[in-house]
A and B are shown apart, each in its own frame.
Chain A
Amino acid sequence: MEDLKVKSNQAHLSKSLLDIMKTNISEYFMFIALIVIMIFFTITTDGVFISSRNISNLINQMGYIAVLAVGMTLIIVIRHIELSVGYLAGFLGAFSAIALTFWGWPIYAVIPAVMILGILAGLLTATPVAKLGVPAFVSTMAAGLIFRGALLLVTMGTGTIVIRDPVFNAIGNGYIPDIPLGGFLPGKHKLTLIIGLIGIILSILSAIKSRRTKLSYNFQVPSFGLFIAQLVLISGLIGYISWILSGYNGISWSLVILLLVVAVFQFITTKTPLGRHIYAVGGNPEAAELSGISVSKITYIVFAAMGLLSSLSGIMYASRLRSATTTAGLGFETDAIAAAFVGGVSAAGGVGTITGSIIGALVMMSLTSGMNLMNIDISIQYIVRGAVLVLAVVFDRITRRNQ
């Protein structure tokens, strides 16, 4: 026994940065791939790709898919699939438009109402799955047809509904205000820089606190040098992104929503019992049930979350287009599923992270944006994106199997 302990401590001590990278290769790989892709496009577009304006646009375009990808990750983690989210988002976007323009509802009533509708739709779709074990594939495909019909129905009389509410339209197109600091750093969005700075400080403080607690438990922590290196890397990353964004209009409201969604879901999945339960259900539903976790309750919760996120996605999209169209939401689910898989989710269940899927969404969106800048034909774009998707998943399988 003693022997074993000593051995395991040595194993810990001898862990170098390389070892850590090796064991978590599938997690780091996509991040590295993302950076490679970004550098590639930066070079091929003479730096246009990494320009403040393009990055800002890229993020705003990605927002409504990324929030779906967050929910889709959890859906796939619990071994299901959600094919109705695209049309649900489209329908809820149209609903917002109608409530705002025809019924004259104020925006602060419309948004909560749409969010509640989204949750209810998610619960409804989940019912056959959770109650009777109907495959989610069927249940959500059926729901998708219904939402599509509903979308056509409500937009039938009017066709495209134009939204004139400036606050609503700011969600997808607006940016956080700046603070007047006179001639200091002209052309830069000051508040964005300040928020970036706060972000850096907070992440350093929380890293130090977590290290302290670990030490107080007498646990192994990475060496001081490695710790500093990690801090520098993270701070540099946040700093660089804020710097780029500050060069255009600063942080957009889309990004604010996305960051909030990611923060909340990242917290839930990694820090709370609910998160653990979700992964347990995905890893082995029977064992989870026997451990006192209600599989059907978790199924309802995850589908409801997906519904909620679909409503956000619908709002962001309608706002971005300043209108509701009859084809809104078309194919969103495919993009969200692709982002999740590129980000390392496993269809076998129990594996996949929120941050991974966000990176997946960034990879897919960078490809689109970069190829658009290079004037590559849409046909080739589809082929490239398909190839990247399958390559990512194949690589993921191989690295996992080798472990």
Chain B
Amino acid sequence: METPILEMKSITKEFPGVKALDNVTFSVRKGEVHCLVGENGAGKSTLMKVLSGVHAFGTYTGDIFVEGELQKFNGIRDSERAGIAIIYQELALIPELSVYENIFLGNEVSNGIVIDSNESISQAIDILKKVGLDVNPLTKIKNLGVGKQQLVEIAKALKKEVRILILDEPTAALNETDSDNLLQLIRGLKEQGVTCILISHKLREVMEIADTITVLRDGKTVTTLDVEADKVNEPVLIKHMVGRSIDNIFPKRENVNIGEEVLRLEDWSAFSYALGRDILKNVNISVHAGEIVGIAGLMGSGRTELAKSIFGNPDHYRLSGKVFIHGKEQKFRSPHDAIKSSMAYVTEDRKGNGLILIDDVKHNISLANLKEITTGGVINENEEILIANKYRSELNIKTPTIQQKVRNLSGGNQQKVSLGKWLFVKPGIMILDEPTRGIDVGAKYEIYTIMNSLVEQGMSIIMISSELPEVLGMSDRIYVMSAGKINGEMPVEDASQEGIMALAVDY
């Protein structure tokens, strides 16, 4: 057997109170696409950070071999030198800089003193071609969609000689089209001989692209499967990941009981001063008690803007039109007003505007509803601990203690904290913006079950999602947005992926 291009042997990595990796063995053959799957907090990102030197040699135990050679990476530069490039779960581009400046950030092309922009730009054009991205390298990052930003990240990684490319949930924030492009690109790289390690919670795409799959659970390697030889399919994979089988990813609701209208928008439009254009145009929607309303659409179609504009308009758009809550017109001046009218908004970007990362789990959960645990002006911290522990066990948040800083949780578990925070507000209308982004199948199932039980108790949910199976699987009714307009509305029975996509791309 030929030497694997990468071998990680008996890797153990501990954080205070957490054994993130426990004797993990991971081996990758040259030229393959190797997918790494597992529940939130299983240790996938940590394993890759060990590999790329973010967790330096000496902070873990075990050995890393690249093409048979023992490696001791003390930082990301060392691993780059060995031909390893990593693209993190969170985008790491500088929005105010241009595409080419980002690509060469930290490795500027220069004559020693002055940056050679012309040379950089011409090299950037070549690299952009490699990733199939057709943009002007002088465009600022902030003016690109997420899909294209992701490609720039990859371009940035590819500017040097890369033997192993690691992608940590690259498609989490991408829609189907962009994801497909990315998978296509990975296939292309594979043909050029680049070995890819891909972490993803989207099992369909894992099945589509992987040659080999390694499953991690609780910091241990469960198994490594050869997709063809072992005849792997999604249910098998799920069983390995969560330790039990899940028959229907989208649990059915027992009794659908749709009540009266609780929210209505009439000719709702918004103008963004920051962007200098209309972002919502004459939106008319309604939501009923006990109903899950799905909002589908492409990235940038105005779904998040719609949510924010209803939820007290924190970005200060110029609004026109009317909002009715329980038949009464409301003019929310801030999210505070919206929360008082029993609304909640679980944001799409948990790091950016969902959580206080430097604070701990319990403070984050209680933040939006402190008054519930305050008596005589003083916060009852013991009550707060009880509540945080309640949501921790209800949502199965993996954390050593609720005193853990949210920053130290895995991506999926951060999302659960965000959800717990808003459940504690006990809202009547809940807007969920990409509620299962970056969440593992098991936890997805749990979140769907919670959503079902909430609407069964009469709550209304507006679910913004880029994952069409989720929209189709969970919604009672679906709106499709495109370019700030509602392009279509349909009961779920009449909806199909193709139908929704057709409306979503019709500007």
Contacts and interface: CB of A to CB of B under 8 A. Distances in A.
Contact of B356 (A12, A213, A214, A287): A287
B421 to A, nearest CB: 8
B347 A290 contact: yes
A382 B340 CA distance: 53
A401 interface: no
Contacts of A5: 393
B75 to A, nearest CB: 14
Interface in A275-306: 276-277, 279-280, 283-284, 286-294
A4 B377 CA distance: 34
Interface in A224-251: none
Contacts, number: 96
A172 interface: no
Given A7-B400, A290-B311, A291-B367, A23 B356 contact: no
B189 interface: no
A292 B314 contact: no
B351 to A, nearest CB: 9
A272 B336 CA distance: 18
Interface residues of A, number: 33
B473 interface: no
B370 A219 contact: no
Contacts of B352: 286-287
A277 B336 CA distance: 13
Contacts of A351: 358
Contacts of B314: 286, 289-290
A342 to B, nearest CB: 20
A45 interface: no
Contact of B370 (A4, A273, A286): A273
B58 interface: no
B147 interface: no
Contacts of A307: none
A284 B336 contact: no
A273 B358 contact: no
B17 interface: yes
A293 B338 CA distance: 11
A276 B370 contact: yes
B34 interface: no
A158 interface: no
A283 B359 CA distance: 7
Contact of A294 (B336, B358, B363): B336
B385 interface: yes
Interface string B344-386: 0101000011111111000100111011001001110010011
B339 A284 contact: no
A316 to B, nearest CB: 28
B13 interface: no
* Interface of A: prevailing SS: helix
A8 B336 contact: no
A43 B435 CA distance: 63
Contact of B363 (A214, A217, A276): A276
A179 interface: no
B353 A290 contact: yes
A276 B382 CA distance: 15
Contact of A280 (B359, B371, B382): B359
- Interface core residue of A290, A294, A351 (most chain B CB under 10 Å): A290
Contacts of A350: 356, 358-359
* Size class of the B contact interface (CB-based, 8 Å): 35 or more
Interface string B80-108: 00000000000000000000000000000
Contacts of B398: 4
B235 interface: no
Interface string B36-67: 00000000000000000000000000000000
Nearest to B405: A403
B378 A11 contact: no
B334 interface: yes
A12 B401 contact: yes
Contacts of A271: 378-379
B458 interface: no
Contact of B335 (A7, A217, A289): A289
Nearest to B385: A219
B368 A283 contact: no
B353 A284 contact: yes
B396 interface: yes
B276 interface: no
Interface string A71-98: 0000000000000000000000000000
Given A217-B382, A217-B385, A276-B370, A283 B358 contact: yes
B401 A283 contact: no
The 10 closest A-B pairs by CB, nearest first: A283-B356, A286-B353, A292-B336, A291-B368, A292-B339, A273-B370, A217-B382, A284-B356, A271-B378, A11-B17
26 contacts: A1-B393, A1-B396, A8-B17, A8-B400, A8-B401, A214-B382, A271-B378, A272-B378, A276-B363, A276-B379, A280-B363, A283-B359, A284-B353, A286-B353, A287-B354, A289-B314, A289-B334, A290-B314, A290-B345, A290-B347, A292-B334, A292-B339, A294-B336, A350-B358, A351-B358, A403-B16
Interface of B: 16-17, 311, 314, 334-336, 338-340, 345, 347, 352-359, 363, 366-368, 370-371, 374, 377-379, 382, 385-386, 393, 396, 398, 400-401, 421
Given A8-B400, A290-B311, 18 more contacts: A8-B17, A219-B382, A272-B378, A273-B370, A277-B370, A280-B359, A280-B363, A287-B353, A287-B355, A288-B356, A290-B347, A292-B336, A292-B338, A292-B339, A292-B340, A292-B368, A350-B359, A351-B358
Interface of A: 1, 4-5, 7-8, 11-12, 23, 213-214, 217, 219, 271-273, 276-277, 279-280, 283-284, 286-294, 350-351, 403
